[in-house]
Amino acid sequence: MDISELFDLTGRKALVTGASRGIGQAIAEALASAGADVAVTARDPGSLEETTSRIKALGRRAHAFALDVLDVGACGEVTATAAEALGGLDILVNNAGYEEIRPSLDVDEALWDKIVSTNLKGAFFCAQAAARQMLNSGKGGAIVNLCSLTSYVGVPTAVPYGSSKSGLMGMTHALATEWAGLGIRVNAIAPGYFRTGMTDVFYQDEAWQQAMLAKIPQRRFGAMDDVAGAVVFLASDSSAYITGTCIPIDGGYLASI
């Protein structure tokens, strides 16, 4: 067998949430580069223009939809609409997320609910909606959740975020075991330190950058291309016997602590 066939996503239909920039945009482009047609979502659909342009430039079909994953009903409606537009759904990447750094003694209920509901509740109901579409096709599919290093370790001033991402790890394990018999695989990746719009505030501090680089064995921060291969792998037939796992993409950070 040509090993490249195992990574080929030609004919597959993918949905990526939170794909207007950063890691979500890179994932959507990577899936298209591997052959998939891709639907992307963001709270502001106008922000998806660059992402859809990149997908189309690769010769794949692209569709953009407005979605705030805090709206559970919209998770189901948009997923169904995306599947209809694509002609099915084989892949879901749960990338939409929210973070706000705040000392734990200052966290109020509104902030807790916004972070945990976006990162965990929204991911669950998108996964549920995607699984229904995958079952309708009779072909099963692959779901990839975006966990975090905070799924493994505690980070001060990020307690709601870490709680949501630890919960997402548990959800990945539970759905993988429940849906394996249905032909749906559920895995995750855990990006380490990547400079994105959500994390840029940290990288503006040179002292923080140097302190963090000293903890990363590869001595560099993650680049968008670093997540692309892992997601394509987990979405493709090359990982057909893998479900319920999470791949840290962290330059060796977790291995060194």
pLDDT tens digits for the chain (257 residues)? Answer: 688 899 999 999 999 999 999 999 999 999 999 999 999 999 999 999 999 999 999 999 999 999 999 999 999 999 999 999 999 999 999 999 999 999 999 999 999 999 999 999 999 999 999 999 999 988 999 999 999 999 999 999 999 999 999 999 999 999 999 999 999 999 999 999 998 877 787 788 899 899 999 999 999 999 999 999 999 999 999 999 999 999 999 999 999 98
Model pLDDT for residues 109-141, shown as the tens digit of each residue: 999 999 999 999 999 999 999 999 999 988 999
SS3 per-residue string spanning 59-115: CCCEEEEECCCCCHHHHHHHHHHHHHHHCCCCEEEECCCCCCCCCHHHCCHHHHHHH
Q: Which domain holds residue 213?
A: 3-256
Q: Is 193 a catalytic residue?
A: no
Number of structural domains (the chain) is: 1
Distances (CA, A) of 20 to 23, 47, 67, 96, 183: 9, 6, 11, 10, 30
Nearest to 32 by CA among 3, 5, 63: 63
Phi, psi at 189, each rounded to 5°: -120, 155
**CA 191 to each of CA 43, 237, 246: distance values in angstroms, whole numbers, following the listed order:** 22, 22, 10
The sign of the torsion formed by the CA atoms of 232, 234, 240, 241 equals: positive
Catalytic residue among 152, 161, 193, 253: 161
Contacts of 57 (CB under 8 A, 6+ apart): none
CATH code of the domain covering residue 124: 3.40.50.720
Q: Look up residue 135 and give its two tokens.
A: 């079952």
Q: In the beta sheet, which residues pair with residue 143?
A: 92, 186
